[in-house]
Structure 1
Amino acid sequence: MPRLTPPVRGDVIAGISVALVLVPQSLAYAELAGLPAVHGLYAAAAAPIAAALIGSSPYLQTGPVALTSLLTLGALSPLATTGSATFAAYAAVLALLVGVARVLLGLLRWGALAYFMSVPVVTGFTVAAAVLIVAAQLPGLLERPSVSDNPVRAGAEALSRPDLWNPAALLIGLAVIAIVMLGRKLSAMIPWVLIVTVAALAASRTGVIDVATIDAVPGGLPPISLDLPWHAVPELIVPAVLIALVGFAEPASIARKYAAADRQAWSPNREFLGQGLANLAAGIAAGYPAGGSFSRSSLNRLMGARTRWSGAITGVAVFAVLPFADVFSALPTTVLAGLVIVAAISLVEIRPFRDYWRYSRPQFLVAVPTFAATLILAPRVERGLLIGIGLAFAVHLWREMRIDLTTRLDGTTLYVHPEGVLYFASTPMLETRLTALLAEHPAVATVVIDVHRLGRLDLTGLMALRGFAEQARQYDVEVEVHDVPSHARERAHQVLGPVCRIVTTEPD
């Protein structure tokens, strides 16, 4: 296990500062995930401590986050009633499965998977998820309950009857959003989330405001247990793997960003292990899947964190709050809705869609359908993600199967420049195009095929070129193959040498 250096004063200050923000956020994110609020505290206490044991980044703060919370809701809502004890038990199983997936990926040294997720897919899914998160919070913001499990329908129902809104709840929620967003622009080091939470809690307890509050939050340490509904594992494996991969994108980007800023190395394999241990700990402690938070990690760094101890100190600080968690029972639900909306707004980025339209229409046609599918299929948002992955794979295959040809006729010699990747899936297209060129130019005596622009030339591609050369010979047309890539030259001489001339203008 990598050595954990002793904590410095900045780690203590940063860890406690982050805990002051994490406590109210974890309550809000648990509500978003469909869980009783206290389970967010359980995850917030256990996950940061476990992640600190082996993680790579000294700044990464782990715990409940908005995107993973929405994925948890989507995965579990078909299996149990939100807010129930059964739902919470399934959430713990899901966290354990996410943990196992990430630990295995780390042990297998597959951390590079963090780079493989298609950016347009992640963009489309993340923006749609942000819209769904905001929509899901509208009933709480307006104090207009909804029975729909679809966030879009729930939000639409809440907005459809202004006469049933609670103006006081709406004003409080909007005030929370405004104070946190404007406050962060003034100073990111001030715990605005804590300030609005304490103010609303005090106003609620003293009767200054009279709005709906969250359900009773029991005080005490988390119930450590593995007596869980393991029969649900087959239904949760796919969502767990998706959460393990998609939920890792944020902590990976955080770690990379700060490692580059500090000119330090970071290890995605270690980060997978750290995030895996965090989720295992969250599952054992009756929590739910956790991830890395950009805002809390940024605060951690600003407050002077220098080692992974800051994350462990954050977890210990949350543990210290748990015996007194019942004080949060008076917290208005509109405050939690406002805090979640603030987090979701930061996920909305429209510019990438414009860039895709401008620079790559195929990638635009991946991002937009992923966005739409995620909205339409809510709350099963993981299905929208799977559709996006399928579209990205289809676009990749379409590009790989394309062979672009540029031609030039010089007397009786036809020069052909294929460009792309020549392998088993794209060879039929090349064969068809070359045969068509023979028909278009009946007076041609020589065909020169320059293959230096091909990204790959495997045996199937060489056999296709050989077949064309043999066909051309029947029409008294000679074929020359120029500038075979160095990796394929030896095999090219073996396969093509008997039927055509091979010309190399570059040294081996």
Structure 2
Amino acid sequence: MRLTPPARGDVIAGVSVALVLIPQSLAYAELAGLPPVHGLYAAAVAPIAGALIGSSPYLQTGPVALTSLLTLGALSPLAATGSATFVAYAAVLAVLVGAARVLLGLIRWGALAYFMSIPVVTGFTVAAAVLIVGSQVPSLLDAPADSDNPARAAFDALSGPGDWSVASMLVGVAVVAVVMGGRRISALIPWVLIVTIAALLASRAGALDIAQIGTVPSGLPPFSVDLPWEAVPDLIVPAILIALVGFAEPASIARKYAAADRQEWNPNREFIGQGLANLAAGVAGGYPAGGSFSRSALNRMTGARTRWSGAVTGATVLVVLPFAGVLSALPTAVLAGLVIVAAISLIDLKPFFTYWQYSKPQFLVAVPTFIATLLLAPRVERGLLIGIALAFVVHLWRELRVDLRTTVDDDTLYVHPEGVLYFASAPMLETQLTGLLAENPAVRRVVLDVHRLGRLDLTGLMAIRGFAEQAANFGVEVEVRDVPEHARDRAHRVLDPVCRLVATEPT
């Protein structure tokens, strides 16, 4: 799609999103364990770089809650949160995420956006959202918590009610109530900006005596490639996971709006666009970025028509950066409330009940993924890896199974196998068929109807041949019906010497 000059709607939408992105980026940076200003750096450059080649005209790129939690999990074992080393490692991580996404887009592996197991994503996302909410409890209560584990931090804060700040708690709860309630009134009103400005003005006027985020440096991002590249080996695996998992959200956003507008969406271009966004965020002193549901929706509703809206959003944040120091008085409870609002929208338990109702194996993928992610925090990427492994095991289990439906009529045994017959499942089929002969000693003829087999490779045909040869030793004739067309020529060559092939209409 050719990038035309920005229309009036793109400018209005871009500025509108920027006014929401600025306070959100501060909050998400704190969630990631970074000083808030580094969220602003990512918010300034990532939307501009992402707009260069991305496929969706609506997708808004920048700091997001899920990627922020993944960043915290990846970096917390390597450096103290908030330290200069932690900040530098976050920039390296963003570059690696960007490089991975650009590479995947260039080699046209954008289809990976569709391959992530939905139960795995569900279990991980809901657990991550719970952890995100837990991580904000100390800030919400202005209570001490000395742990990188969000669940433990929440427990520590909640277990000491004597340390709670009622004023801080009321401010945070008010933020959540106003933003969530306000969206029901009108999604076009920038409720996030309204509560942020109101709290900032009250804090500067001395009406709110609660914890503040502290110094926020003013000025443009410190662009540099002088980063601690020696950390690359420790960050490769987390970077690949963030590149893939973090792409699920922008991919779903882009697909949804492309379908609604009957427009084409190119996942390869989107991978490259999101990759450029992260490369830019890394060299600008930011951290990994992703696509935001809420900001993309606002972008579309306020009139965006091209990718220029994302560039306008980034440019607006750049204009604000020289004056970022005025945000120093912003209460941390406000940021906590904003993060909680974003996380609550990700907590959806209905899919778990759906999996239980329609597919117990998928339920047994989603729930352990959820539990593992909670227990292994802050290394949440390990919970994700466990979920991926479980999904792979379930897939293998299904691929290894060949279900048999059988009927007996006089001396004829009719067998209807269903599944995928290939090298891994063939031995099981041969064993099952041999067992059926033992169970039915009066049978003198076996009719094997294979039209329901999804795949029939050479190993599968050899398994049928082995069974036919064994059956012949007992005086049992084997007839194979309805071999799939893709395997028919080979089946004749392999099976004709030992059994009879018949082509009939499937029943």
TM range (shorter): over 0.9
2:362 aligned partner: 363
CA distance in 2, matches of 1:221, 1:300: 25
The number of residue pairs the alignment matches comes to: 506
Corresponding residue for 1:351?
Answer: 350
1:40 matched residue in structure 2? 39
**Structure 1 residues 467-488: Cα deviation after superposition (integer angstroms, max 9, x where no partner):** 0000001001110000000000
Q: Equivalent residues in 2 for 1:293-332 (5 A)?
A: 293-332=292-331
Structure 2 counterpart of 1:224, one-letter code: F
Corresponding residue of 1:11? 10
Deviation of 1:445 after TM superposition, in Å, equals 0.9
User: 1:295 offset after TM fit, Å?
Assistant: 0.2
Q: Paired residue for 2:395? A: 396
- Deviation string 1:412-458 (CA, Å, 9 cap, x unpaired) is 11100100000111112111111111111111111010000101000
1:215 Cα deviation from its structure 2 partner: 2.6
Tell me the alpha carbon deviations over residues 165-211 of structure 1, each in whole angstroms, 9 at most, x when there is no partner. Answer: 00000000000000000001100001000000000000111100100
Q: Which residue of 2 aligns with 1:415?
A: 414
Aligned with 1:405: secondary structure?
strand
- Paired residue type of 2:24: Q
Aligned equivalents of 1:132, 1:326: Cα separation in 2: 30
CA distance in 2, matches of 1:50, 1:343: 24
SS at match of 1:373: helix
Check conservation: 2:144, 2:163, Cα contact below 8 A.
no
What is aligned with 1:152?
151
Partner of 1:279: 278
State the Cα deviation string for residues 112-147 of structure 1 (Å, max 9, x = none): 100000000000000000000000000000000211
Q: Does 1:196 align with 2:164?
A: no
Q: CA deviation at 1:406?
A: 0.8
What residue number does 1:53 align with?
52
Root mean square deviation of aligned Cα: 0.8
Q: 1:453 is matched with which residue?
A: 452
Task: Give the counterpart letter for 2:293 in structure 1.
Answer: F
1:257 paired with 2:226, answer no
How many angstroms does 1:506 deviate by? Answer: 4.6
Letter in 2 for 1:118: S
Q: CA offsets, 1:302-357, max 9 Å, x none?
A: 00000000000000000000001111110000000000000000000010000001
Query: SS state of the match for residue 415, structure 2?
Result: strand
- What CA distance in whole angstroms lies between the structure 2 residues aligned with 1:358 and 1:408? 29
Q: Distance in 1 between matches of 2:433 and 2:45?
A: 63
Q: Tell me if 1:290 matches 2:302.
A: no
Q: Which moved more, 1:2-11 or 1:194-203?
A: 2-11
- The answer to whether the Cα contact below 8 Å between 2:105 and 2:270 also exists between their aligned partners in 1 is yes
1:437 aligns with 2:433: no
- Give the 5 Å matches for 1:458-473: 458-473=457-472
Query: What residue in structure 2 maps to residue 270 of structure 1?
Result: 269
**Aligned residue in 1 for 2:237:** 238
Instruction: Give the distance between the partners of 1:329 and 1:79, measured in 2 at CA.
Output: 28
> What residue number does 2:495 align with?
496
CA distance in 1, matches of 2:83, 2:334: 22
1:127 paired residue number: 126
Q: Tell me how far apart the structure 2 counterparts of residues 21 and 444 of structure 1 sit (CA, whole Å).
A: 75
% same residue: 78
**1:9-158 counterparts in 2 under 5 A?**
9-158=8-157
CA distance in 2, matches of 1:145, 1:27: 20
Structure 1 gaps of 5+ residues are none
> How far does the alpha carbon of each residue in 1:245-267 deviate from its partner, in whole angstroms, 9 at most, with x for none?
00001100100111111111110
- How far apart are the structure 2 equivalents of 1:173 and 1:241? 34
What is the distance in 1 between the residues matched to 2:401 and 2:505?
Answer: 26
- How far apart in 2 are the matches of 1:324 and 1:146? 31
Structure 2 CA distance for aligned equivalents of residues 215 and 501 of structure 1: 83
For residue 3 of structure 1, report the CA deviation from its aligned partner: 2.1
SS in 2 for 1:5: coil
What SS does the corresponding residue of 2:387 show, helix, strand or coil? helix
Contact 2:13-2:300 at 8 Å conserved across structures:
yes
Unmatched tracts of structure 2, length 5 or more: none
Give the conservation status (yes or no) of the 8 Å contact 1:179–1:192.
Answer: yes
Q: C-alpha separation between the residues in 2 aligned to 1:92 and 1:494?
A: 60
Residue pair 1:15, 1:305 contacting (<8 A) in 2 also: yes
Give the 4+ runs in structure 1 shifted more than 6 A. none
**Rounded Cα–Cα distance in structure 2 between residues aligned with 1:224 and 1:439:** 75
Q: Conserved in 2, the CA contact under 8 Å of 1:424 and 1:460?
A: yes
* Aligned partner letter, 1:297: S
- 2:111 aligned counterpart, secondary structure: helix
Q: Which amino acid aligns with 2:336?
A: A
CA contact under 8 A between 1:103 and 1:272: conserved in structure 2? yes
CA contact 1:36–1:215 (8 Å) conserved in 2: no
Give the match's secondary structure for 1:111. Answer: coil
Provide the rounded CA distance (Å) in 1 between the counterparts of 2:443 and 2:26.
76
Letter in 2 for 1:7: P
Q: Could you tell me which amino acid in structure 1 is paired with residue 131 of structure 2?
A: L
TM-score (norm 1): 0.99
1:358-388 per-residue CA deviation (whole Å, 9 max, x = no partner) reads 1100000000000000000000000000000
